[in-house]
Amino acid sequence: MVSLQVEKLEKFFPPNVYALRDVSVSIRDGEFLVVLGPSGSGKTTFIRCIAGLETPTKGRILFGDVPVVDVERGVNVPPAKRNVGMVFQNWALYPHMKVFDNIAFPLKIKKLPRREVEKRVREVAEALGISDLLSRYPRQLSGGQQQRVAIARALVKEPQVLLMDEPFSNLDARLRISAREFVKSLQRRLGITTILVTHDQHDAYALADRLMIINNGVVQQIGTTDEVLNNPANVFVAQFFGDPPINLVEGEGRGDHVDLGDLKIPVQAPQGRLQVGIRPTDIYVADRPLNPGDIELAPGRIVLVEYLGFTPVAVVRWERTEIRAAMYNKLREGDTARVFLRKEGVKLFRDGVRV
């Protein structure tokens, strides 16, 4: 296994797309990094640069202390020599080959002896629980099984780094959950340095040791899921990561509170125009405070009760301000509600950046 160092990586697609701008991240040996961002943010380009399938226009990538790319020095190790395993979004299995041959393919390219190939394929198939599928064709497999074959093929050459590009996007919601669990435990067991790219925050939440959030080719934040959730660097991150989505309202900072016009949020706040972010888990409708430090806001009116998963969320309105709040009582639409706030959960932003 190996650590990974990405330094000031840039990828420019002429005439005018910067798919990556000044991306730097170091990934520890055995770490699971999830790269999360919306469509077109540069995720695939990032992982392809690491695999060697794309050549960056600036920057360096090191595996351990060995540069595989150094644009300035003209270093660019070809993909086959980088010792990475890659799982693609569509799994890219060869339809005319049986599972065994699909998995064996990277070893055959390396011209390993037949007995060695046989041994390694059987070992990896065993580890992935697909030993009894080796003589089937991909079309005879379920989505989850095909995915395991794609992972087996990526792992069979015992790569130093495992790269996965949206590996769950072809799975239905239930399979996705079990596939995530499977990938996580496999990664833990093998201790392989892994980068997984996704636009689905639930993948990120379930899998990441650390998370790199990217938008328009620019890294927005790198941190553990807790850090990113509790301390989002900016409004983009706050809105992109967290379920249910964060409430974001405009207000005026007044020292010991933020004035939303029709509602005061009693937290320390610098003077001036601010955006206030409060997750629906940090503000709630209840008959009494749930925690000693929580404070009561002015009562609001429930205009709608929604269900996000199995959790009821109330849309509470004051005069103008509307906030989604977790709901711990049985009030209904039209009722006036007591509303409580977990103060530490309030996040303030100015011009999109955390203050």
With binding defined as CB under 6 A, does residue 339 bind ligand ATP?
A: no
- What's the min distance (Å) between Cβ of 242 and ligand ATP? 19
Q: Which is nearer to ligand ATP, 199 or 343 (CB)?
A: 199
With binding defined as CB under 6 A, does residue 17 bind ligand ATP?
A: yes
Site for ligand ATP in 174-203 (CB under 6 A): 199
How far is Cα 109 from Cα 112, in angstroms, rounded to an integer?
Answer: 8
With binding defined as CB under 6 A, does residue 44 bind ligand ATP?
A: yes
Q: In a 3-state reduction of DSSP, which class is residue 263? A: coil
Among 34, 42, 84, 337, binds ligand ATP (CB under 6 A): 42
Among 5, 22, 40, 259, binds ligand ATP (CB under 6 A): 40
Residue 291 parent element (H or E): none
- What's the min distance (Å) between Cβ of 298 and ligand ATP? 42
Among 2, 4, 36, 43, binds ligand ATP (CB under 6 A): 43
What is the distance between the terminal CA atoms of the chain, rounded to a whole angstrom?
A: 39
With binding defined as CB under 6 A, does residue 85 bind ligand ATP?
A: no
Q: Which is nearer to ligand ATP, 212 or 339 (CB)?
A: 212
Q: In a 3-state reduction of DSSP, which class is residue 136? A: coil
Task: Indicate left, alpha or beta for 262 from its phi (over 0: left) and psi (-120 to 50: alpha).
Answer: alpha
Spell out the residues 6+ positions from residue 154 whose beta carbon is closer than 8 angstroms to its own.
Answer: 85, 86, 87, 162, 163, 164
Residue span binding ligand ATP (CB under 6 A) among the ranges 11-19, 140-148, 247-255, 282-290: 11-19
- What's the min distance (Å) between Cβ of 165 and ligand ATP? 8
Residue span binding ligand ATP (CB under 6 A) among the ranges 41-49, 149-157, 298-306, 310-318: 41-49
With binding defined as CB under 6 A, does residue 75 bind ligand ATP?
A: no
* Alpha helical stretches, state H, the chain: 43-51, 99-109, 114-128, 143-155, 173-190, 201-207, 225-230, 235-240
- CB 245: neighbour CB atoms within 10 A? 15
Q: Facing residues of 301 across strands?
A: 317, 336
With binding defined as CB under 6 A, does residue 13 bind ligand ATP?
A: yes
- CB 116: neighbour CB atoms within 10 A? 11
With binding defined as CB under 6 A, does residue 145 bind ligand ATP?
A: no
Structure tokens at 167: 């590996």
Distance of CA 144 to the CA centre of its chain: 20
Catalog residues that contact ligand ATP under the rule CB under 6 A.
13, 17, 19, 37, 39-45, 199
